[in-house]
């Protein structure tokens, strides 16, 4: 469901806390791998070459330091007061956030925006498009799938009702492109409490090809987008999930620029770093899966009890030993109806989902943004080393803005569609609104999406209305 994209926003579902804890271990692991590969006797890996750091991060995190180090650390800790310990923890926490910036930017330069070549040996793709309602960009978005440059695919459109106004849009495109294999499905099947899963069930059962691409109606697909995702999927025998890093197509309005900046900075940073460090970071707006692997997990019907079904797809596949990755081209969201208020409500839904699925994120979620983390670093350095608070805050903010701007231009693959001054204004608005969104999520845990109201139990399951 659209709401689950949040899960990506912050290590999409691994939580910033786990990311912070693993950042240093990941870098050490990368260095160790490079040394190992330099040895003449090192065996050649059969893994795909597109992953920058295909390392066993979870195993690295479990590595135990030498006993002498542990003993000396305990002796030192025994003589520390609570305030000093808090300052040290605060410094390490924010320093690791700095590392996440570097990892995300480096991985974006390595992974994104590569040319892909046609390959007729790639398997066919069944594209499932759940649709509710329309806007002025819907025709353009759907047409980008009818004109995709891929040798074998089908388009499966899912509607809750045959009276949906978007039906006429799809029908006109089917008439315009009669050679494209396209079908429409109505009313869905009741397999759980997640309306998106219910809506997609007939199309999933009818899907003819080994690869299934679930794509939201607001996505504009590049001509080589499906090819890019399928190429990534078949680059490794254990690959079963490929997502496009969420981003936005250029649009003119200030509100659309706000949405684009969010996905190019705060969201993009965590999503890219999480994928680089091999965490589960799956979002459902543009997600390709191997149908055979998904069927091993019970098919999409098995996830009908979860609202953030895309995260649980990724987690279950990972538990079964499958790999996931991002394709080289980001997902281009292209809704015409975006507004700052509606988008902040969208972010708030994601925060509520994360809190329900991963309750301990409450301890980290409000601290990961620029200004809260800047205060933590400033007062930590003031207490530990006597640094000036104002100077630290200024340097911290300059670093944060510079890295965010660099990351967004990397995701954009060029100059932004608006000025640097406008970027700074929107960036400040985004950062200042973040604490308010978090507070609202805590005070109003009920999730409202479209015409539905959801109550979640701990763990992310949808609670039945009569419970």
Q: What is the pLDDT of residues 76-102, one digit of tens each?
A: 667 778 899 999 999 999 999 999 999
Reported as a single tens digit per residue, the pLDDT across 307-353 is 888 889 999 999 999 999 999 999 999 998 889 999 999 999 988 88
Per-residue confidence band for 46, with pLDDT thresholds at 50, 70 and 90: very low
Going by pLDDT thresholds of 50, 70 and 90, the confidence category of residue 2 is: very low
Predicted confidence (pLDDT) at residue 417 exceeds the cutoff of 60: yes
Catalytic residue among 10, 164, 278, 310: 310
Please provide the average confidence, as pLDDT, over all residues in the chain: 85
Domains of the chain are 1-30+49-467 (3.90.550.10)
* 58 has pLDDT over 80: no
Neighbours of 48 (CB within 10 A): 16
Taking the C-alpha atoms of residue 226 and residue 379, their distance in angstroms, rounded to an integer, is: 48
| pLDDT exceeds cutoff 60 at 169 | yes
In 3D, which of 108, 388, 445, 156 has the Cα closest to residue 268?
108
Q: Which residue has the higher pLDDT, 63 or 276?
A: 276
pTM here? 0.83
2's tokens: 């659209």
Half-sphere exposure of 11 (CA within 13 A, CB side): 26
Distance CA 129, CA 140 (A): 14
First CA to last CA distance, the chain: 22
Cα 407 to Cα 405: distance, rounded to the nearest angstrom: 5
Each residue of 285-312: pLDDT tens digit? 999 999 999 999 999 999 999 988 888 9
pLDDT single digits (tens) 353-372: 888 887 777 788 889 999 99
pLDDT at 101: 98
Res 267: pLDDT: 95
**Cβ–Cβ under 8 Å, residues 173 and 142:** yes
Tokens of 166: 């978007």
Distance CA 225, CA 230 (A): 9
**Nearest one of 385, 312, 316 to 87, comparing CA atoms:** 385
| Phi–psi pair at 236, nearest 5 degrees | -150, 135
Phi–psi pair at 214, nearest 5 degrees: -95, 120
State the burial class of residue 72 (Cβ atoms within 10 Å of its Cβ: 0-12, 13-18, 19+).
exposed
Q: What is the mean pLDDT of residues 426-432?
A: 97
Whether residue 389 contacts residue 224, with contact meaning beta carbons closer than 8 Å, is answered with no
Active site residue 310: yes
């Amino acid at each position: 469901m659209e709401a689950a994209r949040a899960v990506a926003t912050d290590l999409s579902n691994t939580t910033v806390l786990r990311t912070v804890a693993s950042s240093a271990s990941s870098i050490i692991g990368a260095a160790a791998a490079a040394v190992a590969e330099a040895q003449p006797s090192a065996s050649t890996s059969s893994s795909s070459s597109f992953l920058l750091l295909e390392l066993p991060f979870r195993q690295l995190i479990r590595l135990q330091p030498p006993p002498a180090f542990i003993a000396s650390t305990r002796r030192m800790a025994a003589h520390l007061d609570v305030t000093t310990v808090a300052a040290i923890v605060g410094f390490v926490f924010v320093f690791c956030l700095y590392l996440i910036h570097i990892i995300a930017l480096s991985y974006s330069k390595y992974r994104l925006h590569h040319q892909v070549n046609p390959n007729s040996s790639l398997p066919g793709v069944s594209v499932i498009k759940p649709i509710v309602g329309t806007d002025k960009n819907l025709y353009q978005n759907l047409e980008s799938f009818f004109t995709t440059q891929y040798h074998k695919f089908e388009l499966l459109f899912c509607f809750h009702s045959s009276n949906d106004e978007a039906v006429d849009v799809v029908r006109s495109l089917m008439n315009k492109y009669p050679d494209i294999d396209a079908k429409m499905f109505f009313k869905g099947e009741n397999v759980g409490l997640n309306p998106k899963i219910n809506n997609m069930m007939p199309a999933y059962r009818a899907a003819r090809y080994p690869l299934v691409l679930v794509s939201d109606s607001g996505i504009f697909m590049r001509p080589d987008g499906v090819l890019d995702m399928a190429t990534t999927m078949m680059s490794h025998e254990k690959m079963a999930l490929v997502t496009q890093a969420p981003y936005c197509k250029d649009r003119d309005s200030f509100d659309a620029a706000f949405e684009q900046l969010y996905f190019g900075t705060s969201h993009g940073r965590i999503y890219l770093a999480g994928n680089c460090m091999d965490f589960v970071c799956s979002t459902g707006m543009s997600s390709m899966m191997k149908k055979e692997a998904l069927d091993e997990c019970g098919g999409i019907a098995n996830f009908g009890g979860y609202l953030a079904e895309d995260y649980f797809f990724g987690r279950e596949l990972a538990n079964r030993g499958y790999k996931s990755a991002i394709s080289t081209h980001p997902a281009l969201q292209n809704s015409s109806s975006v507004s700052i208020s509606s988008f902040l409500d969208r972010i708030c839904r994601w925060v509520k989902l994360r809190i329900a699925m991963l309750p301990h994120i409450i301890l980290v979620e409000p601290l990961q943004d620029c200004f809260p983390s800047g205060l933590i670093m400033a007062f930590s350095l003031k207490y530990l080393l006597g640094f000036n608070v104002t100077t630290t805050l200024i340097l911290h903010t300059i670093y944060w803005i510079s890295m965010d701007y660099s990351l967004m231009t990397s995701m954009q693959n060029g100059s932004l569609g608006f000025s640097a001054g406008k970027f700074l204004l929107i960036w400040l608005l985004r950062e200042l609104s973040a604490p308010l969104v978090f507070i609202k999520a805590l005070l109003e845990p009920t999730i409202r999406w479209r015409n539905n109201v959801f109550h979640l139990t701990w763990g992310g399951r949808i609670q039945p209305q009569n419970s």
